[in-house]
Amino acid sequence: MLTQILTAKQVHQKIRRLAYQIYENHFEESEVVLVGIENTGLQLAYLLQQEIQAISPLKARLCSLKLDKTSPLSQPIQISEDVANLAHKSLILIDDVLNSGKTMFYAFKPFFEIPIKRLQTLVLVNRDNKLFPINPDYVGYSLATTLQNHVSVVLDEESKLGVYLR
CATH (one of 3.30.70.260, 3.40.50.720, 3.30.1360.20, 3.40.50.2020) for 30-154 = 3.40.50.2020
Strands (E), the chain: 3-6, 31-37, 59-66, 78-79, 90-98, 118-126, 138-142, 151-154, 162-165
| Domain boundaries along the sequence of the chain | 30-154
Residues 6+ apart with CB under 8 A from 126: 97, 98, 136, 139, 141, 142, 143
For the whole prediction, is pTM greater than 0.85?
Answer: yes
How would you write the pLDDT of the chain (166 residues) with one tens digit per residue? 889 999 999 999 999 999 999 999 999 999 999 999 999 999 999 999 999 999 999 999 999 999 999 999 999 999 999 999 999 999 999 999 998 899 999 999 999 989 999 999 999 999 987 889 899 999 999 998 877 889 999 998 888 999 999 9
